[in-house]
Amino acid sequence: MFASCGRGRRGYHEAVASAEFWDAQAAEFDEQPDHGLRDPMVRAAWAGLLVQVLPPSPARVADLGCGTGSLSILMAEAGHRVSGLDISPAMVALAQAKVAGAGYPADLSVGGAALPPWEPGSFDVVLARHVLWAMEDPDGALTRWLQLLAPGGRLVLVEGRWWTGAGMTAGEVAKLVLRHRSEVQVTALDDSAYWGNPIRDERFVVVSHR
Protein backbone atom coordinates (compact mmCIF):
# COMPACT_ATOMS: atom_id res chain seq x y z
CA MET A 1 0.00 0.00 0.00
CA PHE A 2 2.71 2.46 0.94
CA ALA A 3 6.30 2.11 -0.14
CA SER A 4 9.15 2.87 2.20
CA CYS A 5 10.66 6.21 1.28
CA GLY A 6 14.18 5.33 2.34
CA ARG A 7 14.59 8.26 4.73
CA GLY A 8 15.04 6.25 7.90
CA ARG A 9 12.32 5.40 10.39
CA ARG A 10 12.01 8.87 11.88
CA GLY A 11 11.99 10.66 8.53
CA TYR A 12 9.54 8.15 7.09
CA HIS A 13 7.04 8.58 9.90
CA GLU A 14 7.39 12.34 9.82
CA ALA A 15 6.50 12.21 6.12
CA VAL A 16 3.42 10.01 6.38
CA ALA A 17 2.19 11.91 9.44
CA SER A 18 2.28 15.26 7.64
CA ALA A 19 -0.65 17.19 6.21
CA GLU A 20 1.32 17.87 3.03
CA PHE A 21 1.83 14.15 2.35
CA TRP A 22 -1.90 13.40 2.51
CA ASP A 23 -3.04 16.65 0.87
CA ALA A 24 -1.02 15.59 -2.16
CA GLN A 25 -2.94 12.29 -2.30
CA ALA A 26 -6.42 13.64 -1.61
CA ALA A 27 -7.60 14.12 -5.19
CA GLU A 28 -6.90 10.48 -6.12
CA PHE A 29 -7.41 8.88 -2.72
CA ASP A 30 -10.90 7.53 -3.40
CA GLU A 31 -9.76 5.73 -6.55
CA GLN A 32 -8.53 2.90 -4.31
CA PRO A 33 -11.49 0.54 -3.86
CA ASP A 34 -11.16 0.36 -0.07
CA HIS A 35 -10.88 4.16 0.20
CA GLY A 36 -13.72 5.39 -1.97
CA LEU A 37 -15.98 2.35 -1.43
CA ARG A 38 -17.52 3.02 -4.83
CA ASP A 39 -17.76 -0.68 -5.68
CA PRO A 40 -21.01 -1.99 -4.13
CA MET A 41 -19.34 -5.27 -3.12
CA VAL A 42 -16.47 -3.47 -1.35
CA ARG A 43 -18.86 -1.05 0.33
CA ALA A 44 -21.05 -3.91 1.53
CA ALA A 45 -18.01 -5.76 2.91
CA TRP A 46 -16.94 -2.77 5.03
CA ALA A 47 -20.50 -2.08 6.16
CA GLY A 48 -20.78 -5.70 7.27
CA LEU A 49 -17.46 -5.54 9.11
CA LEU A 50 -18.54 -2.42 10.99
CA VAL A 51 -21.71 -4.19 12.12
CA GLN A 52 -19.51 -6.94 13.57
CA VAL A 53 -16.99 -4.74 15.38
CA LEU A 54 -19.13 -1.83 16.59
CA PRO A 55 -21.68 -1.86 19.43
CA PRO A 56 -25.36 -1.31 18.65
CA SER A 57 -26.23 2.20 17.54
CA PRO A 58 -26.28 4.92 18.52
CA ALA A 59 -22.70 4.82 19.75
CA ARG A 60 -20.35 7.80 19.96
CA VAL A 61 -17.52 6.97 17.54
CA ALA A 62 -14.20 8.73 17.04
CA ASP A 63 -12.98 8.06 13.49
CA LEU A 64 -9.27 8.88 13.72
CA GLY A 65 -7.59 9.49 10.39
CA CYS A 66 -11.01 9.65 8.74
CA GLY A 67 -9.55 10.53 5.34
CA THR A 68 -12.28 11.30 2.83
CA GLY A 69 -14.96 10.09 5.22
CA SER A 70 -16.03 6.81 3.65
CA LEU A 71 -16.19 4.89 6.93
CA SER A 72 -17.66 7.92 8.71
CA ILE A 73 -20.58 7.83 6.28
CA LEU A 74 -21.11 4.09 6.76
CA MET A 75 -21.18 4.53 10.53
CA ALA A 76 -23.50 7.54 10.39
CA GLU A 77 -25.73 5.59 8.03
CA ALA A 78 -25.91 2.84 10.65
CA GLY A 79 -27.11 5.38 13.26
CA HIS A 80 -23.87 6.12 15.08
CA ARG A 81 -22.79 9.60 16.18
CA VAL A 82 -19.49 10.12 14.40
CA SER A 83 -16.69 12.59 15.04
CA GLY A 84 -13.96 12.36 12.43
CA LEU A 85 -10.45 13.77 12.53
CA ASP A 86 -7.76 13.96 9.88
CA ILE A 87 -4.51 15.87 9.59
CA SER A 88 -5.14 16.73 5.93
CA PRO A 89 -7.35 19.77 5.24
CA ALA A 90 -7.86 18.55 1.67
CA MET A 91 -9.07 15.17 2.89
CA VAL A 92 -11.41 16.72 5.45
CA ALA A 93 -12.88 19.07 2.84
CA LEU A 94 -13.68 16.09 0.63
CA ALA A 95 -15.10 14.20 3.60
CA GLN A 96 -17.31 17.10 4.63
CA ALA A 97 -18.68 17.45 1.10
CA LYS A 98 -19.28 13.71 0.90
CA VAL A 99 -21.10 13.57 4.24
CA ALA A 100 -23.20 16.63 3.40
CA GLY A 101 -24.12 15.09 0.06
CA ALA A 102 -25.16 11.86 1.75
CA GLY A 103 -27.34 13.78 4.21
CA TYR A 104 -25.90 12.28 7.39
CA PRO A 105 -24.73 14.21 10.45
CA ALA A 106 -21.05 13.87 11.28
CA ASP A 107 -18.58 16.26 12.87
CA LEU A 108 -15.42 16.16 10.75
CA SER A 109 -12.48 18.39 11.57
CA VAL A 110 -8.78 18.94 10.85
CA GLY A 111 -6.37 17.69 13.47
CA GLY A 112 -3.61 15.20 14.20
CA ALA A 113 -4.53 11.69 15.32
CA ALA A 114 -1.50 11.60 17.62
CA LEU A 115 -3.10 14.30 19.81
CA PRO A 116 -6.89 14.15 19.42
CA PRO A 117 -8.57 17.35 20.69
CA TRP A 118 -11.48 15.69 22.49
CA GLU A 119 -12.15 15.29 26.21
CA PRO A 120 -11.33 11.99 27.97
CA GLY A 121 -14.26 9.59 28.17
CA SER A 122 -16.07 11.23 25.24
CA PHE A 123 -16.58 8.13 23.08
CA ASP A 124 -17.94 4.61 23.12
CA VAL A 125 -15.65 3.59 20.24
CA VAL A 126 -12.28 4.74 18.96
CA LEU A 127 -11.76 3.50 15.41
CA ALA A 128 -8.65 4.01 13.30
CA ARG A 129 -8.00 2.47 9.91
CA HIS A 130 -4.39 2.40 8.73
CA VAL A 131 -3.35 5.10 11.18
CA LEU A 132 -1.48 3.46 14.07
CA TRP A 133 1.37 2.28 11.80
CA ALA A 134 1.99 5.88 10.71
CA MET A 135 2.43 7.22 14.22
CA GLU A 136 6.01 8.06 15.19
CA ASP A 137 5.15 6.92 18.75
CA PRO A 138 2.42 4.26 18.39
CA ASP A 139 2.32 3.48 22.11
CA GLY A 140 1.93 7.14 23.04
CA ALA A 141 -0.80 7.63 20.44
CA LEU A 142 -2.60 4.51 21.62
CA THR A 143 -2.46 5.72 25.22
CA ARG A 144 -4.19 8.96 24.23
CA TRP A 145 -6.75 7.14 22.09
CA LEU A 146 -7.74 4.87 24.96
CA GLN A 147 -8.20 7.90 27.22
CA LEU A 148 -10.98 9.02 24.87
CA LEU A 149 -13.06 5.97 25.72
CA ALA A 150 -15.84 5.95 28.27
CA PRO A 151 -15.92 2.98 30.69
CA GLY A 152 -16.63 -0.14 28.69
CA GLY A 153 -15.55 1.58 25.48
CA ARG A 154 -14.26 -0.31 22.48
CA LEU A 155 -11.03 0.05 20.48
CA VAL A 156 -11.12 -0.92 16.79
CA LEU A 157 -7.90 -0.86 14.75
CA VAL A 158 -7.71 -1.85 11.09
CA GLU A 159 -4.05 -2.32 10.22
CA GLY A 160 -1.72 -4.27 7.99
CA ARG A 161 1.83 -5.25 7.19
CA TRP A 162 2.09 -4.63 3.47
CA TRP A 163 4.27 -6.31 0.92
CA THR A 164 6.26 -3.08 0.62
CA GLY A 165 7.52 -3.57 4.19
CA ALA A 166 5.45 -0.73 5.66
CA GLY A 167 2.89 -1.25 8.39
CA MET A 168 2.57 -3.43 11.48
CA THR A 169 1.89 -7.13 11.90
CA ALA A 170 -1.13 -8.44 13.79
CA GLY A 171 1.19 -9.72 16.49
CA GLU A 172 2.80 -6.31 16.91
CA VAL A 173 -0.51 -4.51 17.18
CA ALA A 174 -2.01 -7.07 19.57
CA LYS A 175 1.06 -6.92 21.81
CA LEU A 176 0.87 -3.13 21.91
CA VAL A 177 -2.82 -3.12 22.79
CA LEU A 178 -2.29 -5.70 25.54
CA ARG A 179 0.09 -3.31 27.25
CA HIS A 180 -3.00 -1.25 28.05
CA ARG A 181 -5.97 -3.62 27.86
CA SER A 182 -6.75 -7.06 29.22
CA GLU A 183 -8.34 -8.50 26.07
CA VAL A 184 -7.83 -8.37 22.33
CA GLN A 185 -9.39 -10.08 19.32
CA VAL A 186 -7.63 -10.31 15.96
CA THR A 187 -9.48 -11.11 12.73
CA ALA A 188 -7.77 -11.46 9.37
CA LEU A 189 -9.13 -9.32 6.55
CA ASP A 190 -7.78 -11.40 3.70
CA ASP A 191 -11.02 -11.54 1.69
CA SER A 192 -10.59 -9.60 -1.55
CA ALA A 193 -14.09 -8.17 -1.05
CA TYR A 194 -12.61 -5.63 1.38
CA TRP A 195 -9.95 -4.44 -1.04
CA GLY A 196 -11.41 -4.87 -4.50
CA ASN A 197 -8.55 -7.15 -5.50
CA PRO A 198 -6.69 -10.18 -4.14
CA ILE A 199 -3.97 -9.19 -1.66
CA ARG A 200 -0.52 -10.59 -0.97
CA ASP A 201 0.14 -9.11 2.44
CA GLU A 202 -1.23 -9.21 6.01
CA ARG A 203 -4.34 -7.17 6.77
CA PHE A 204 -6.50 -7.47 9.85
CA VAL A 205 -8.74 -5.81 12.42
CA VAL A 206 -7.94 -5.71 16.14
CA VAL A 207 -10.80 -5.19 18.59
CA SER A 208 -10.49 -4.70 22.32
CA HIS A 209 -13.55 -4.43 24.57
CA ARG A 210 -11.76 -4.01 27.91
Let me know if residue 191 belongs to a domain.
Answer: yes
* Residue 28: CA count within 13 A, CB half-sphere: 3
| 3: pLDDT strictly greater than 50 | no
User: What's the average model confidence in pLDDT over 4-8?
Assistant: 37
Let me know if residue 116 belongs to a domain.
Answer: yes
* Radius of gyration (C-alpha) of the chain in whole angstroms: 16
CATH label of the domain that carries residue 69 = 3.40.50.150
Q: Whole domain around residue 146: which residue ranges?
A: 8-208
* pLDDT of res. 106: 86
* pLDDT of res. 16: 64
Between 8-17, 135-144, 160-169, 194-203, the lowest mean confidence (pLDDT) is in 8-17
Let me know if residue 129 belongs to a domain.
Answer: yes
Let me know if residue 47 belongs to a domain.
Answer: yes
Cβ-in-10-Å burial (0-12, 13-18, 19+) of 160 comes to buried
> How many domains, in total, are found in the chain?
1
| 204: pLDDT strictly greater than 60 | yes
Let me know if residue 178 belongs to a domain.
Answer: yes
Let me know if residue 136 belongs to a domain.
Answer: yes
Residue-wise pLDDT tens digits, 176-203: 999 999 999 999 999 999 999 999 999 9
Of 145, 161, 152, 157, which is closest to residue 49 (Cα–Cα)? 157
What is the pTM assigned to this prediction? 0.92
Let me know if residue 3 belongs to a domain.
Answer: no
DSSP 29-67: HTTSHHHH--SHHHHHHHHHHHHHHSPSSS-EEEEET-T
Let me know if residue 111 belongs to a domain.
Answer: yes
